[in-house]
Amino acid sequence: MELLYLGTAAAEAIPGMFCDCRFCKTAKALGGKEYRMRSGAVINGELMIDFSPDVHISSEKAGIELRKIKNIIFTHSHPDHCNAADLQYRGYGYCYFDGQLDDKLHTYGNRAVEAVVTRALKEKYDKYSVDFTYIEPYVPQDIGGYTVTPLSVFHANEDAYIYLIEKDGKRMLYGHDTGIFIDKTFEYLAGKRCDLISLDCTMGYQSAETGHMGFPANLKVKERLMNLGAADKRTIFVSHHFSHNGLRAPDCDLTYDKFMEMAKPHGFIMSYDGMKIEF
């Protein structure tokens, strides 16, 4: 299985859209991995997680053809993850290619996501060859040949989801946006060893544990997952989804290299835009 990170930033991106803080200046000066678009990912080039305002350019840079994506799973309804308005550009008059739209684009998520997608497309799903399916937490779904299980987390005053995704004997956990998981989600994961676990680290060096996490909370989640048998020494752990607010640490800027100095001894790697992990 291959996980491709299209974007790795929180809502304001990095450098922040309107920001002139020390870290954003550093990011502009260094470029490269310090530039981060809004969050999203693709599995095996075919199953998309979230649809950000930057998905067009991030997909182009990564060589992903959006018209070939058939399934999108949404974590929650915030606009940096659920930019549903851009789905209308899949309709005739906005895009042209040989023949008809060969298949619908299937979208999945919670009730809040359903409301956003329905409002954006004005219920004219057929016009854009898009449909939406509500999926219940803790109920495995067959989505494009993947077993996808949404798991409830506390975020955004809605039943936000993280996802357990399985195919061909491989299993991964995509854990964004969230604080430390609720007990029911930890209990569901018990004994389900993951090959890769990607955790929200929006707040960077900070000790945030609710709504979003910082790196100290990542360590707590890793320890509990290890104790539950949901991870072991072979599991790849990734810190992902960063705000400049959490990377502008008091003693130094947590650039990619500095973050890796902190994270590597604990068995974590830091995501960056365009990063691919095969497992």
- Looking at residue 123, its pLDDT comes to 74
Q: In Å, what is the CA distance from 220 to each residue of 84, 180, 266, 279?
A: 34, 8, 11, 23
pLDDT, averaged in runs of 10, over the chain (279 residues)? 98 96 96 98 98 98 93 98 94 70 86 96 81 97 98 93 98 97 98 98 97 98 98 98 96 96 98 98
Quote the tokens at residue 92. Answer: 């005739």
CATH number of residue 157's parent domain: 3.60.15.10
How many domains is the chain partitioned into structurally?
1
Range of the domain at 200: 2-278
**Nearest alpha-carbon partner for 152 in 76, 59, 44, 77:** 76
- Looking at residue 95, its pLDDT comes to 79
What 8-state DSSP symbol labels residue 180?
S
- Looking at residue 37, its pLDDT comes to 98
**Nearest alpha-carbon partner for 208 in 196, 197, 198, 221:** 221
Other C-beta atoms closer than 10 Å to the C-beta of 200 total 30
- Looking at residue 126, its pLDDT comes to 76
Rg (CA), the chain: 18
Other C-beta atoms closer than 10 Å to the C-beta of 193 total 14
pTM (two decimals): 0.96
- Looking at residue 174, its pLDDT comes to 98
**Contacts with 35 (C-beta within 8 Å, 6 or more apart), sequence order:** 14, 15, 27, 273
3-state secondary structure of 53: coil
Which helix (H) or strand (E) segment holds residue 147: the answer is strand 146-155
